[in-house]
Amino acid sequence: MSSDLWSFSLSTYARPGVEDACLALQAAGANVCLLLCACWLGERGVACNPQRLQQLLQLAEPWDSQVVQPLRQLRLQWKAAAVSDAPLGILRAQVKALELEAERQLLLRLEQSARGWPTGQANDLAAWQEGLAVSAAKLSRDALHQLRVAMTDA
């Protein structure tokens, strides 16, 4: 298990089924960085409670809406045109790299926020995922379950 959230996220995302689940959840409106953080906290045995959930949500929401989402929207907006426009394709790749860096920065912020929380105290993966999925009613329950299964199979 990776001790830092960024390394954990990279290795988790590479597991079978996780990328598809994360993309489905993202398409449904979930913040994948928060869900990867949920997996990290669950695997580390950090107890889930309303105050911790609120702390992470309040930290993530402004960064996601003001930094990550605008970059993602621009990247998606340019997708079709970039196929036939090489210079735009290069710019789109740069925007994609910025989007990934913005997500890495968010994961670093989430990790720092949770730094002092005791580990090895609970088996709360499902509680973390449900709590940080935010708009669970809109989300794909199958994709959330797929992410949970990928975590428990590892």
> For 123, phi and psi rounded to 5 degrees?
-115, 70
pTM, full prediction: 0.88
d(CA 44, CA 47): 9
List the single range of 21-30, 41-50, 122-131, 142-151 with lowest mean pLDDT. Answer: 142-151
The one-letter amino acid at 56: L
Per-residue pLDDT tens digits for 60-88:
999 999 999 999 999 999 999 999 999 99
d(CA 104, CA 98): 10
Among 134, 151, 148, smallest CA distance to 56 is for 134
d(CA 91, CA 3): 34
For residue 137, pLDDT over 70 is answered with no
pLDDT band at 30 (very low <50, low <70, confident <90, very high): confident
**H helix or E strand, kind and range, residue 63:** helix 50-63
For residue 100, pLDDT over 80 is answered with yes
Per-residue pLDDT tens digits for 102-118:
999 999 999 999 999 99
Kindly list the distances between the CA atom of residue 117 and the CA atoms of 47, 50, 54, in Å, as whole numbers in the listed order. 8, 14, 14
Average pLDDT of the chain is 90
Rg (CA), the chain: 16
